[in-house]
A and B are shown apart, each in its own frame.
Chain A
Amino acid sequence: MGRWGLLLPAAIFLALFYFYPLGSMLQISLARAETGLLGTLGSVFARPDLRKVFGFTVYQAALSTLATLALGLPGAYWLARFRFRGQALLRALTAVPFVLPTLVVAAGFSALLGPRGWINLGLMAALDLEAPPLALTQSLGAIVLAHVFYNTTIVLRLVGDFWSRLDPRLTAAARVLGASRGQAFRQVTLPLLAPAIGAAVLLVFIFDFTSFGVVLVLGGPRFATLETEIYRQTIYLFNLPTAAVLALAQLLCTLALTAVYARLSRQTAVPLNLRAARDTRRPLQSAGERLGAAAMVTVLVGLLVTPMLALALRSVARLEADRGQSGPVQPGLTLAYYRELGVNRRESLFYVPPVTAIWNSMSVAGATVVLALALGLPAAWALASASEAASGPSGMQLPAAALARSALARGDVGAAGGMIDSGNATGPSAGAGRRPAAGRGAALTALDALLMLPLGTSAVTLGLGFIVALDAPPLDLRASPALLPLAHSLVALPFVLRSLAPALRSIRPRLRQAAAVLGASPARVWREIDLPLVGRAVIVAATFAFTISLGEFGATAIIARPEYPTVPVVIYRFIGLPGALNYGQALALSTLLMLVCAGGLLAIERWRIADVGEF
């Protein structure tokens, strides 16, 4: 049962820092219900406004997820299958939106799309219009656009990186056998990508489903999701029982979604010969391919990079140029806001030099990467190898998967893996462990779902849970800075698992078995088979943990903190005060955050130098 032992650290971590605080908060909240739990349930579900909130939450999440896929899947294809200049930079840049505070993103969007944004001003000038033609702020469109802006990177990373490791000879074999390009995609590539797409859809949907800042700031008061409603009920109305019921409803939805996903993913996972990305990418050849890549890059840059560029530009543009003032107007560029960051003008006790704030953010992010990987790697490995023993083979009965397998079996003849494996994908041993493991499959599904829960949990409920639960030694962490990486890791862990699981599940058991037969210890098997094959996935996981921490998702917004300000905290301090210098400094610091993040991502990408996917 060594595999199950590997789950222990993650399980203990979740029990202490997730279930215990969350349970305490829900218990305290429901204890305040004057009508008891059932009465509260009844009154909440009887309210038409709350039912409407629930409906809208699902609707906008579905819409946003579809839009994100529509951009992310083609983007993943072009990034995965082709080699072109600036690819690494583009990949890093598309992940940067993840770390930006919502208010700053709103500023970027309004600089572009607002009533006096550049696009509206340009259109008004070009078409000789009196009023701005686009009214995108404070609308459902703004919500969806912002969700696409934030979450496309999830699809690009999870699907793109898996895609880049698929052996192109699989589709080549299908084509040789007479399949059209579309058939080869539908019947070979798509089924093989299914686990990665499923993981991306799940994560994107849950992120949109629990959206808070985007809905509040860009959607405006006419829109509410469960998450914003839980916040309002908790903080402004102090109606804790209603908030608790809504938080539970949100949790149950996450649980149900994850359970469905977990079942599907086990049915669709197929052991594969993964290849090194550098072997599967090829240069753009035909004019059509060049055109396609150019279109893709343009769309990605247009939607994901220009709002950030707008922000960066505004941070060096004089903001007062066109305002009424009696002094001389000096339009043009300025570094005043960057210089001002280094000045403690009011001799305030709470002044934070930008370097300190960046250092604080990077330290927390570093600690989060280490913690989330330390907990997630063993857990993902245990889940993947246990699920393969439990229910992997049953999935092979799906027609699509069977087709894929036959293509696979043909396609990988001569693949490097052939030195151990003769090319028969699963082999007769596949069904061996099936019957006794049926109950285990259910247990796994449940466990898998539990590990996803922190992502779908109301941030305010969990954040206040830390205060009511972690209040006695040895866990008196209520105001400790250690709570930051702990809370970030809770959010990062599902991403780490989702990044690793598809890659781990795709390793052919035969490779491990062969290594074991040749005398390798389990540790050595892991080191020499699993780690090299999933090295790329580990990088993806680290990237997610890093950006999630820098962006301060979830409960961290609610955590009380002593003087230990990270970059987003300082940005919010500036943007909360009137005055050009404050606004300018908020934009300047946001630009620094983007640079630091892009630099960090490029550095993480470099770790895959050897890309040891082949042997």
Chain B
Amino acid sequence: MKRQAGLVATTRIAMLAGLGAVLGLAACGTAGQATPTGAAATPGGPRTLTVMTHDSFAVSEAVQVEFESAHHVTVQFLKSGDTAEALGKAILARGQPLADVFYGVDNTFLSVALKEDIFEVYASPLLAEIPDEFELDPGQRALPVDYGDICLNYDKAYFSGQGIAPPARLEDLTRPEYRDLLVVENPAASSPGLGFLLATVGHFGDPGYVDYWAALRDNGVLVVNDWETAYYTEFSGSSGQGARPIVVSYGSSPPAEVLFAETPLDDAPTAAVTGPGSCFRQIEFVGILRGTANRDLAEAWVDFMLSPRFQADMPLQMFVLPVNPNAALDPTFEQYMAMPEAPIVGDPEEIAQKREAWIEAWTEVVLR
């Protein structure tokens, strides 16, 4: 009896060992694919440029290959979470930078990045092509790449079905016919949520925005923490089939609904509210990380991002608009893209100083 048990046990050990070996090999196989970040150039082989970005970064393979072959370089992208997470990591890694270039800081976080001094100055010759309104850092450490608008989106079918006009301006949302129709993101936890709060600050002034939010609260605004929950769980115009027909999203969401429709659509199911001062304009920047060992390649990459070739690729990859007016736009994108009147941009310095106080006041009025 005992011997038999021992035999079974031994067989089992062998099987477990076998399983272990297989899994171990699998792990080695995949681990081997990785190239260490910031690795020194292997003699004769291409050098490596590392670009740190947020998770939403995307680029066409062809565009990428063009840069790599032109500069005999391998570009590695280090996706580092959402904008705030990625910036936090870049700040903490200051001095021992995780990458050569950082892309994705926006005008709500620009001042933080500049204050923490993570970028080197680079006056790219391509800046000459870009309108001055986008150049928010006169010190030329953070260079504008793209912009997009955070706007209210609404479910067209709901409003045509109910026979109510969709909202045209921020003021409309406090009217009784829009009661319990709006879902927004928490500005303390979400980038579009913060952008929309800043739009109301810019439009109604401080402290006027507080009264506006009190009116929204009384009119049944729903607050959730993240864009995904707002758009897919609560919003009725998305495929998630929520119950509320107005949501804070992007000006680029309606064209995305058409481009990513399951069956081809003749018309976007949603549209954006574009009245004067109802959207917040988010501008994203790129910069060379202080302490890079590949300054020449980093400069070449920044120039490439500002060039028409890369700029024209961005809309369909990242759903943002190019800052370089020489870049051509995709027709579908141009047709459904919301072009707001007089969007709020905001002064990065003021945003950095008052953001916490604005969020605190907002929390006090809306959540407590």
Contacts and interface: CB of A to CB of B under 8 A. Distances in A.
Nearest to B316: A346
Given A216-B226, A577-B256, A578-B260, A320 B26 contact: no
B231 A468 contact: no
Interface in B78-119: 78-81, 84-85, 88-89, 91-93, 96, 98, 112
A325 B260 contact: no
B188 A221 contact: yes
Q: By CB atoms of chain A within 10 A, which of B19, B36, B89, B98 has the most?
A: B89
Contact of A346 (B60, B186, B238, B261): B60
Given A221-B186, A348-B317, 19 more contacts: A106-B233, A114-B243, A217-B225, A221-B225, A238-B91, A325-B266, A327-B264, A346-B60, A348-B58, A362-B26, A479-B37, A479-B98, A538-B16, A563-B77, A578-B231, A578-B249, A581-B262, A583-B238, A583-B239
A561 B78 contact: yes
A230 to B, nearest CB: 12
Interface in B122-165: 155-158, 160-161
Interface in B23-70: 23-24, 26-27, 29-31, 33-38, 50, 52, 55-62, 64
Interface string B319-361: 1000000000000000000000000000000000000100000
Nearest to A319: B239
Contact of B256 (A232, A471, A485, A578): A578
A324 B160 CA distance: 9
A557 B55 CA distance: 12
B228 A103 contact: yes
Contact of B253 (A320, A575, A578): A578
Contacts of A370: 20, 23-24, 27
Interface stretch (B2-10, B208-216, B298-306): B2-10
A535 B6 CA distance: 13
Given A336-B262, A370-B24, A235 B12 contact: no
A369 interface: yes
Interface residues of A, number: 93
A115 B243 contact: yes
A354 interface: no
A370 B157 CA distance: 53
Nearest to A367: B27
Contact of A334 (B1, B64, B262, B316): B262
Contacts of A615: 1-2, 5
Nearest to A328: B263
Interface stretch (A163-171, A201-209, A395-403, A524-532): A524-532
Interface in B191-239: 222-229, 231-233, 236-239
A562 to B, nearest CB: 6
A584 B12 contact: no
Contacts of A103: 226, 228-229
B88 A573 contact: no
Nearest to A337: B262
A79 to B, nearest CB: 23
B78 A583 contact: no
Contacts of B249: 578
Interface string A547-572: 00000000001101111100000001
15 contacts: A28-B92, A116-B241, A116-B243, A217-B228, A221-B224, A221-B367, A235-B84, A320-B269, A346-B316, A367-B23, A367-B27, A479-B36, A527-B9, A560-B52, A612-B9
A596 B174 CA distance: 48
B60 A138 contact: no
A106 B228 CA distance: 10
A476 B84 contact: no
A506 interface: no
Contacts of A467: 89, 92-93, 98
A576 B83 CA distance: 13
Given A28-B92, A221-B223, A334-B262, A558 B85 contact: yes
B9 A532 contact: yes
A610 B11 contact: yes
A359 B58 contact: no
B239 A349 contact: no
Nearest to B194: A236
Nearest to A362: B26
Contacts of A360: 30
B88 A531 contact: no
B275 interface: no
B51 to A, nearest CB: 11
B98 A363 contact: no
A130 to B, nearest CB: 13
Contacts of A363: 23, 26-27, 29-30
Contacts of A572: 55
Contacts of B241: 116, 319, 322
A107 interface: yes
Contacts of B11: 610
Nearest to A351: B61
A107 B12 contact: no
B368 to A, nearest CB: 9
A472 B96 contact: yes
A588 to B, nearest CB: 12
Contact of B12 (A561, A575, A612): A612
A482 B31 CA distance: 6
B313 to A, nearest CB: 10
B89 A464 contact: yes
B110 to A, nearest CB: 14
Given A346-B317, A472-B96, A578-B249, A220 B225 contact: yes
A472 B98 CA distance: 11
Q: By CB atoms of chain B within 10 A, which of A531, A577, A615 has the most?
A: A577
Contacts of B23: 363, 366-367, 369-370
A103 B52 CA distance: 25
A561 B79 contact: yes
B284 interface: no
A580 interface: yes
Given A107-B240, A363-B26, A562 B78 contact: yes
A478 B37 contact: yes
B260 A580 contact: yes
Contacts of B5: 528, 532, 612, 614-615
A250 to B, nearest CB: 19
Contacts of B79: 560-561
A237 interface: yes
B77 to A, nearest CB: 7
B189 A580 contact: no
A330 B263 contact: yes
B227 to A, nearest CB: 8
A575 B232 contact: yes
B225 A327 contact: no
